[in-house]
Amino acid sequence: MAQLAETLEAIKRRELAQRLDAGEAEVLARTRELLLPTPASFDEQTRSDLQPWLAWTTQASCRHAPAKPFVVAQFIREQAVTGVSTEALLRRVNAISVLHDKHNLADPVATTVVRAVLSEVVAVEAPRSWRKPEKEMFVTLPPDIRAAVARREHERETQLRRLQNEVAALKKTTANSTAPNESVTTSKEETMVKRNDKGWNGPQGSADMGDTPLRKDDSALGYHKPRDISKVVDSNHKVNDGYVGPLKSQE
């Protein structure tokens, strides 16, 4: 009795599968009339990135297409353990998506379980220049998109630093080109000081400071050495009734 029930259940499953296949074939026939775009052929890079997936599924006795999401997730974990670079890993995962798209199959990479594993093995921080709300949204992006954004941001920062270094070098070159003019100015100032030291009429060499060369005092400013005229003032305070007038000679 039990064997008969199992046989009937198997027949029902086969009939159900046949109906589903027939229904899908009918839908496919209708969609072809819409002239849907044909998936692009594999390029050499995609074929190369697909080889690790094909080798791994053969060794693990799993289908390479259509692949179960948990199978793809395990493949990503084991690839990450081997030390493969983030860029190479993302290329291999993208090749799996291209393979399924080529055969009009559902993409297992787009499932939650695969995205969660990618988030664990591909740790990518938001760009430093982004604002806090943008960084919070960055976490919600798919791991491959985050990696692409981070790569482009790194390239931009590298280019910016290179341009900043070039501008700094240009400023330094411009400053060095003006250095001779500064040395000439300094040379003129030094020459003026030397001329003052040779007994010019005054510290500035002015013509209105008399013809008598000034003697240097202890301050080295080029003025006469101070003389005490207090006695002369005391003895001549009554000259011209105390108003300004020539003082008597001290000698």
CATH code of 72's domain: 1.10.150.130
Mean pLDDT for 221-234 is: 62
Q: What is the pLDDT of residue 228?
A: 67
* Domain contains 111: yes
Q: What is the pLDDT of residue 218?
A: 54
Mean pLDDT for 48-56 is: 95
* Domain contains 170: yes
Mean pLDDT for 124-153 is: 79
Is pLDDT above 70 for 226? Answer: no
* Domain contains 105: yes
* Domain contains 147: yes
Residue range 157-167, pLDDT digits in tens: 889 889 999 99
* Domain contains 38: no
Task: Copy the structure tokens of residue 83.
Answer: 């030390």
* Domain contains 94: yes
User: Which residue range(s) make up the domain with 129?
Assistant: 124-174
Is 0.85 topped by the overall pTM?
no
Higher pLDDT, 186 or 107: 107
- Residues 101, 39: contact at Cβ < 8 Å? yes
CA-CA distance, 197 to 203, in Å (whole number)? 8
Q: What is the pLDDT of residue 108?
A: 94
Residue where a domain stops, chosen among 112, 144, 174: 174
* Domain contains 70: yes
- Residues 121, 77: contact at Cβ < 8 Å? yes
Same domain, 75 and 97: yes
Same domain, 108 and 57: yes
* Domain contains 140: yes
Instruction: For residue 235, give the nearest of 214, 250, 217, 220 by alpha carbon.
Output: 250
Q: What is the pLDDT of residue 29?
A: 79
Q: For the chain, what is the domain count?
A: 2
The one-character DSSP state at 159 is: H
